[in-house]
Amino acid sequence: MATELYRKVRSAQLAAFKRRMPEGKRGVEFECGGRTYVAAIRRLTPLECMRLQTVPESYEFVTSDTQTYKGLGNGWSIETVKHIFGYIPEERRKRGLKVLSLFDGISGGQMALRGIGAKVDLYLASEIDRHAIANTQHNYPDTVQLGSVTELDVDEIVEKYGVPDLLIGGSPCQSFSFSGKMKGMSTKGGEEVYTLGRYMELKSEGFEFEGQSYLFWEYMRVLTELRRHNPDIMFFLENVKMQERWERCLSHAIGVRGVHINSALVSAQQRNRIYWTNIRTRTVAGDGLFHDAGDPFAWPPLVSDIPQPDDRGITIGDILEEGADERYYLKDETVARLMERTDKAKLQSHLAEPQVSVGEALAYMDGHSEYYGLTEEEKRSVAVTGYEMEKRRLHGKGVSDG
Q: 177-186, pLDDT tens digit by residue?
A: 766 666 778 8
Q: CA 199 to CA 195: how far, in whole Å?
A: 6
Angle at 167 between CA 150 and CA 121, to 5 degrees: 115
Helices (H), 103-193: 108-115, 130-139, 154-161
- Residue 75 has a CB neighbour count (10 Å cut-off) of 23
Looking at beta carbons, which pairs linking 367-371 to residues 24 or more positions away fall under 8 Å?
A: 371/5
Q: CA 364 to CA 358: how far, in whole Å?
A: 10
- Whether residue 10 contacts residue 353, with contact meaning beta carbons closer than 8 Å, is answered with yes
- pTM confidence score: 0.82
Q: CA 260 to CA 272: how far, in whole Å?
A: 7
Q: CA 124 to CA 197: how far, in whole Å?
A: 26
Q: Where are the domains of the chain?
A: 2-31+331-394, 47-304
pLDDT at 397: 41
- Residue 299 has a CB neighbour count (10 Å cut-off) of 19
- Whether residue 281 contacts residue 329, with contact meaning beta carbons closer than 8 Å, is answered with no
| Polymer length in residues for the chain | 402
Bond from prior residue into 301 cis (ω within 30 degrees of 0): no
Q: Is the dihedral of CA 104, 109, 110, 111 positive or negative?
A: positive
DSSP state string for 323-373: T--GGGBPPHHHHHHHHHTS-HHHHHHHT-S--S-HHHHHHHHHT-GGGTT
| Secondary element (H or E) of residue 168 | strand 166-169
- Residue 259 has a CB neighbour count (10 Å cut-off) of 19
CA-CA distances (angstroms) from residue 82 to 137, 179, 319, 346?
Answer: 21, 27, 19, 40
Q: CA 185 to CA 210: how far, in whole Å?
A: 7
Q: 96-134, pLDDT tens digit by residue?
A: 999 999 999 999 999 999 999 999 999 999 999 999 999
Q: CA 301 to CA 292: how far, in whole Å?
A: 10
pLDDT at 391: 63
Per-residue pLDDT of the chain (402 residues; tens, 9 = 90+): 666 776 777 777 777 777 778 877 778 888 777 777 788 889 999 999 999 999 999 999 999 999 999 999 999 999 999 999 999 999 999 999 999 999 999 999 999 999 999 999 999 999 999 999 999 999 999 999 999 999 999 999 999 999 999 999 998 777 677 666 667 788 999 999 999 999 999 999 999 988 888 899 999 999 999 999 999 999 999 999 989 999 999 999 999 999 999 999 999 999 999 999 999 999 986 554 556 778 999 999 999 999 999 999 999 989 998 888 889 999 989 999 998 888 877 777 666 544 566 677 777 777 888 777 778 787 777 777 766 766 665 554 433 333
Q: CA 78 to CA 263: how far, in whole Å?
A: 9
pLDDT at 378: 77
- Residue 196 has a CB neighbour count (10 Å cut-off) of 18
CA-CA distances (angstroms) from residue 74 to 145, 179, 289?
Answer: 18, 15, 39
DSSP state string for 278-328: SSSEEEPTTHHHH--TT-TTPPPSEEE--PPPPP----GGGTPPTT--GGG
| Secondary element (H or E) of residue 100 | strand 97-102
User: Does domain 47-304 correspond to CATH entry 3.90.1150.10?
Assistant: no
pLDDT at 47: 97
pLDDT at 12: 79
